[in-house]
Chains A and B, each alone.
Chain A
Amino acid sequence: NAGVTQTPKFRVLKTGQSMTLLCAQDMNHEYMYWYRQDPGMGLRLIHYSVGEGTTAKGEVPDGYNVSRLKKQNFLLGLESAAPSQTSVYFCASSYERQETQYFGPGTRLLVL
């Protein structure tokens, strides 16, 4: 089991560029989540999914879009990157027992 994997590990973008972050899990989890982590602010929920084909907004969804076309994958898109989106992005997934979330290693994004 690879658990939760994220691609890429690190990326530098220029303002206005677009990109997609990929999250994959091989644990057959129904629930998947995207968080961003900034210094001193903990983890903030961007979007989440409670099953294949479903998505919902979290705490800080503006500037991001997501898709869950397959159960094992959860994609996070930035259509027009801004310096304020410089952050570390973590993906997580969980079983029905939602309090136990399994996190990926993170993607470090720098927007210049």
Chain B
Amino acid sequence: GQSLEQPSEVTAVEGAIVQINCTYQTSGFYGLSWYQQHDGGAPTFLSYNALDGLEETGRFSSFLSRSDSYGYLLLQELQMKDSASYFCAVNELGYKLSFGAGTTVTVRA
């Protein structure tokens, strides 16, 4: 089995930096992914960490510490369009994902 924990809500102003933490407990681990979902639409892939360290993709970065069973998604230079739900997901058996409950990010002007 698996469990993932992430905060339910985060609010910040435009231009700020937000960090969404994710802790997990799994029986197997291949990597940690992050997905974004706007208003119940299709989730879209943001980033993936298989090894410890930081992965940077534009304004978004993702970090993983396998020894701590912990990762985070960092959103920099927040924009209004970043208001969405963000899900961490563990790749547990190499071919399927288990998702966290999601973090709703609200960006205020």
Which chain A residues have a beta carbon within 8 Å of chain B's beta carbons?
A: 4, 31, 33, 35, 37, 40-45, 48, 50, 58-59, 88, 90, 92, 98-106
For B35, list chain A residues within 8 Å (CB): 101
The answer for the CA separation of A48 and B98 in the assembled complex, in Å, is: 12
A42 B100 Cβ-Cβ under 8 A = yes
B40 A42 Cβ-Cβ under 8 A = no
The answer for the CA separation of A109 and B42 in the assembled complex, in Å, is: 15
Where chain A touches its partner, the secondary structure class is: strand
Those of B32-47 within 8 Å (CB) of chain A: 33, 35, 40-45
Known: A102-B45, A103-B43. A42 touches B87 (CB 8 A): yes
B96 A105 Cβ-Cβ under 8 A = no
Known: A98-B91, A99-B91. A105 touches B41 (CB 8 A): yes
